[in-house]
Structure 1
Amino acid sequence: MKGVALTMHALHRGEQALAEQLTVIAARHPREHEVRHVTRYLALWSNEHCRRLADTGRHHGLRLDVPSASPPGPPANDRHPAAEVFGRTPEPVPELLRDLRELHLGAVGNSLHWVMLGQAAQASKDTRLLDLVSFCHPRTLRQMHWSTTMIKNLSPQLLTAGDEQDG
């Protein structure tokens, strides 16, 4: 079961990182209403995954941190209050796409860990672990799907903005 424990630790770290990343994205892009609202909601999912991993981990002899009920606010250096007061904000075009790309890649990494845990749960007939994977992995897949959809929807507009002026 050492491999299961290592995978659970990696997944717990990955879900914590994803929750933090989602929270930062929400704060970094306040004018993108869908991004702001959905990322906050998805951060709650990742925090719940961490809590469930910690609970299941106890049955495997692991001690994993349990996140607080609400995700932490973004680090102070990720906000741009002075720029907003003066009407100047950092250029959101590449930053938003970069953030969504990084978010997607983090969710993909977590998804692969959920797949590995699911396979181990089936092989060892660990119903507790299988229940955990069955609950959390579909949500991770939805996080991936949302980020892909947002990238598809925003890329044409954001990547071609200003091209009309150049031509």
Structure 2
Amino acid sequence: MNGVTMVLRALHHGEKHLAEHLTTVAERHRTEHEIHHVATDLALWSREHVQRLADTGRHYGLNLDESPDVSDPGVLTMLREKAAEAVGRRPEPGLLLLRDLRDLHVGATENSLYWEMLAQAAQATRDDRLLTLTAHCHPQTLRQMRWTNTMIKNLGPQILTSL
């Protein structure tokens, strides 16, 4: 396994994890409509990245699982929705939301670093397949980072000073 395949594998894992976490955060904060809807949309990007990484990985001899494991049985989804509604009425959800946004930001930042490493390797080796992959996916990861950062900046002062 060379460095490129190691980064592809790490990115696949990171994007899969980010898709799962974005979906969980969207469900957990269902009563915060902007969080719910944007996190759901951003999870779609990470799922697409997982698919593209799996497709690209095959070219490099990797067999990466193509689909993120974000499907839940109906009962678990219903329980999460009810918990989100109940938590939405208590003062602590703000702190939970900030923690979730921080965790999402750290995950997206880690993925961004891997995208950057992959892009640099692609440029050094003139690998058009990797260049195309990184040119499509990395800007979306940067937008995921900017969204989490913006939400922390906007919500943090209000949440932290209202305790």
Q: TM-score, normalised by structure 1?
A: 0.87
- CA shift digits 1:136-165 (9 cap, x unpaired): 000000000000000001011111114xxx
Structure 1 match to 2:161: 160
The 1:4/1:86 distance shift into structure 2, 3 A limit, reads closer
CA contact (8 A) 1:26 1:36 kept: yes
Quote how far apart the aligned CAs of 1:65 are: 0.8
Runs of 4+ in structure 1 displaced over 6 angstroms? none
The 1:55/1:92 distance shift into structure 2, 3 A limit, reads same
Quote how far apart the aligned CAs of 1:76 are: 3.3
Structure 2 match to 1:128: 129
2:27 maps to 1:27? yes
CA contact (8 A) 2:28 2:83 kept: no
2:67 maps to 1:67? yes
Structure 1 match to 2:40: 40
Write out aligned runs for 1:77-156 (5 A): 79=80, 81=82, 84=85, 91-156=92-157
CA contact (8 A) 1:43 1:71 kept: no
- Structure 2 gap ranges (5+): none
Higher-Rg member (1/2): 1
Moved more, 30-39 or 153-162: 153-162
For the residues of structure 1 that align with 2:119 and 2:26, how far apart are their CA atoms?
31
Moved more, 1-10 or 95-104: 1-10
Quote how far apart the aligned CAs of 1:86 are: 10
2:4 maps to 1:4? yes
The 1:56/1:161 distance shift into structure 2, 3 A limit, reads same
Q: TM-score, normalised by structure 2?
A: 0.89
Identity %: 59
For the residues of structure 2 that align with 1:58 and 1:37, how far apart are their CA atoms?
33
Letter in 2 for 1:18: L
For the residues of structure 2 that align with 1:90 and 1:13, how far apart are their CA atoms?
34
Quote how far apart the aligned CAs of 1:51 are: 0.4
Quote how far apart the aligned CAs of 1:5 are: 0.3
The 1:92/1:21 distance shift into structure 2, 3 A limit, reads same
